Structure 1
Amino acid sequence: MARRRSLKTDACPMARALEIVGDQWSLLVIRDAFDGMKRFGEFQQSLGVAKNILSDRLKNLVQEGVLDLVPASDGSLYQEYVLTAKGKGLFPVVVGLRHWGEAHLYAKGERHSVLLERDSGKPVPKIDLRTRDGKPLDPDLTFVKKLPAKTATATTATKAGSR
């Protein structure tokens, strides 16, 4: 089998992100963590994935700072996986994928799970991207600009409009 090229130093932020969360099991672990799962056994039961694969994905997510491995909240000798701030930052990605799936992967009336607001019990509204002046953001209204390494700071990247 051919070795996969690492994207850890790629100039594209999306490529770097996919290096960490770009396989189905990693994103499903993150989804389950958002749903409150914390223990290896919970993830394994939910996903039905082989233990070695789950172990590998959890280890990687911890190494990348998406999850932390902490002592169990019930005081037992177990450890739990909890989302870090970096991991919680993936929430819009998970919600966006969910909404895309709901819109494009189910027949009309087909049963599926729904993400609800905890307080109201109502469905989470669709993510609504807007331009700086409030217009709906369409792919035709964007472009990618690769900045030179010496000027690629958060401030100049924002001002340059790059992603």
Structure 2
Amino acid sequence: MAARVSHEGAECPVARAVDVIGDRWSLLIVRDAFDGITRFSEFQRSLGSARNILASRLRELVARGILEVAPAADGTAYHQYTLTEKGRELFKIIVALRQWGEDHLFDEGEPHSVLLDAEHQLPLAKLEVTDASGSALTSSDTFVRKVSPSSS
């Protein structure tokens, strides 16, 4: 198997983010954490992943500050994984992936889970990328300014 290439020092924020949460197991662990799963056995039951893969991804998410480990809330000898503030900020990413999946990966009328707001129990509005004044943007309305080498 080829060695994993790290993008930790990349100038691109997308490359750095993918280094942290870009594999499917990590994203699904974060999704499950948002759904209230906190224990190793619960993650394993939900994901069906091998123990070694799950343990590795949980360790990495803790090391990167996405999850934190705490004693189990029920006072047992177990511990639980909870999202940190940094981890909770991934909510928009999970919602964006969900909405993209709803739009492109299900046939018309095919049943799927739905994310609802807790107060009104209604589906969320579609996420939009907006400019500083709140106007909707598409990819053709944006560009990336590359970092210039410093002149030191």
Deviation at 1:135, TM superposition (A): 2.2
1:105 aligns with 2:105: yes
State the TM-score, normalizing by the size of structure 1. Answer: 0.89
C-alpha distance in 1 between matches for 2:46 and 2:105: 21
Alignment correspondent of 1:116: 116
**Once the two structures are superposed, what CA deviation does each residue of 1:62-120 show, in whole Å capped at 9, x if it has no partner?**
00000000111111111000000110010000000000000010000001111011111
Deviation at 1:149, TM superposition (A): 6.2
**Matched residue pairs, number?**
151
Structure 2 regions of 5+ residues with no counterpart?
none
* SS of the residue 1:146 aligns to: coil
C-alpha distance in 2 between matches for 1:64 and 1:133: 33
Alignment correspondent of 1:24: 24
Deviation at 1:150, TM superposition (A): 5.3
C-alpha distance in 2 between matches for 1:133 and 1:70: 41
Alignment correspondent of 1:51: 51
1:64-75 to structure 2, matched below 5 A, reads 64-75=64-75
C-alpha distance in 2 between matches for 1:119 and 1:37: 21
C-alpha distance in 1 between matches for 2:79 and 2:32: 16
**Same amino acid, percent of matched pairs:** 49
C-alpha distance in 2 between matches for 1:148 and 1:85: 31
State the TM-score, normalizing by the size of structure 2. Answer: 0.95
* Structure 1 ranges of 4+ moved more than 4 A: none
Q: Name the amino acid aligned to 1:11.
A: E
Deviation at 1:19, TM superposition (A): 0.4
Q: Name the amino acid aligned to 2:92.
A: P
Alignment correspondent of 1:78: 78
**Once the two structures are superposed, what CA deviation does each residue of 1:31-85 show, in whole Å capped at 9, x if it has no partner?**
0000000000110000011111100000000000000001111111110000001
C-alpha distance in 2 between matches for 1:117 and 1:73: 26
Q: Name the amino acid aligned to 1:101.
A: G
